[in-house]
Amino acid sequence: MLTNTAIEGAKKKDRAYMILDGDGLYLKILPTGRKTWVLRYWINGQEMKKTLGVYPIMTAANARRTRDEIKTKIKAGVPLEEPKSTTFGEIAERWYKTMMEPKKAESYLHTIRLRMKYLAALWTRPIDEISRKECFDVLSLISASGRKSTAKRTGQIVGQIFDYATAAGEATINVAAGLNRSLPSEKVRHFDAVTKIADMRKLLNALDYVDDFIFRSGLQILAYCFVRRSELLRAEWSEIDFDRAEWIIPAAHIKGRRDHLVPLSKQALEIFRRLKRFRPKWGKLRGAPTSSCLRREARILAVAWATPRYSKSLRACTKNSIQTIYRQSL
């Protein structure tokens, strides 16, 4: 019979192992450090196992009492119901619907769903049996494929899912906490942001040389309106009030989940008018933001960057640089 001192002193190992308490009752220690009570019993000569509870929520005395009750039922021929272990995927879905879906913009939710697909190896595993090494191996595979930033961001998602699991009582510890520090970082190439009026004028003039009309207009709108690319790609003509010179971005497209009013300058309004004439029957300004159109835009931008006459100016036109321009102008 195990004493409380022996139970507390049982250390986690690389693999799960069990310590006998007596009469078929064992204490199982998982690689995560979680300790569960397991009962081994036989029915018609076949060995069966049943998880009784988690220590210390279930004390040794309660585990022994439960063992005795179960053995009494077995002798009386009463069938036992085996509780289903909660999987990582089930917790992930609950976390997504509870913590993400009501609060985040659809574009951000789409990104979250894409990153969750990288976690297929963990999806059907009981969440209380997943080790820190398992999480690290999954993230390392993403990083090794060249997606270092994606690996780190996916690691943040795993950590949040385990935080939710511990709060819900489905896991004892967050085995993914701090894993990002063990993953290699992406080498970031920084470009100087345009912060002077003269340089800003050069940037806007450089955009005129982009051959693709839709893409050129999109870059100009980003420069004039300071909106997120996803908000522009998802925009519909119904959001644009040409008479009031306003763009009302609906809450579903906004990170903060509330309607956002963007006053339109004369230049921005004229760009929208040209787009309207170019695509008068489209519900959306640009069409659906599919991966194919994004790849096409990336190719156009790559050609633009390679063109000497305006490459230097266009290279400042990145998301972070546009944000810097905006901050500097306040």
Q: What is the pLDDT of residue 189?
A: 67
Write down the H helix ranges in 254-308.
Answer: 266-278, 291-306
Under 8 Å between Cβ of 314 and 194? no
**Highest mean pLDDT, choosing among 29-33, 187-191, 229-233:** 29-33
pLDDT band at 11 (very low <50, low <70, confident <90, very high): very high
Q: What is the pLDDT of residue 191?
A: 58
Q: What is the pLDDT of residue 153?
A: 94
Domains, the chain, with CATH or none: 4-76 (3.30.160.390), 88-182 (1.10.150.130), 210-306 (1.10.443.10)
Under 8 Å between Cβ of 19 and 27? yes
Range of weakest confidence among 23-27, 112-116, 311-315: 311-315
pLDDT band at 220 (very low <50, low <70, confident <90, very high): confident
Q: Which of 151, 186, 189 lies closest to 321, judged by CA? A: 189
Instruction: Return mean pLDDT, the chain.
Output: 80
Q: Read off the pLDDT of residues 251-292 as tens digits, 9 standing for 90 and up.
A: 877 766 778 899 999 999 999 998 888 876 655 555 444 444
**108, 113, 118, 123: CA torsion to nearest 10:** 140
Cα separation values, 235 from 43, 215, 232, Å: 64, 14, 5
Q: Percent of the chain having pLDDT more than 70? A: 79
Amino acid at 56: P
- Residue 41: phi and psi, rounded to 5, are -150, 170
Q: Read off the pLDDT of residues 89-110 as tens digits, 9 standing for 90 and up.
A: 999 999 999 999 888 877 788 8
Q: What is the pLDDT of residue 112?
A: 93
Stated pTM of the model: 0.52
Q: What count of other Cβ atoms lies within 10 Å of the Cβ of residue 4? A: 12
Q: What is the pLDDT of residue 196?
A: 75
Q: What count of other Cβ atoms lies within 10 Å of the Cβ of residue 102? A: 8
The answer for residues whose C-beta is within 8 angstroms of residue 234's C-beta and 6 or more apart is 106, 107, 253, 284, 289
Of 115 and 329, which is predicted with more confidence?
Answer: 115
Range of weakest confidence among 158-167, 226-235, 313-322: 313-322
Under 8 Å between Cβ of 132 and 169? no
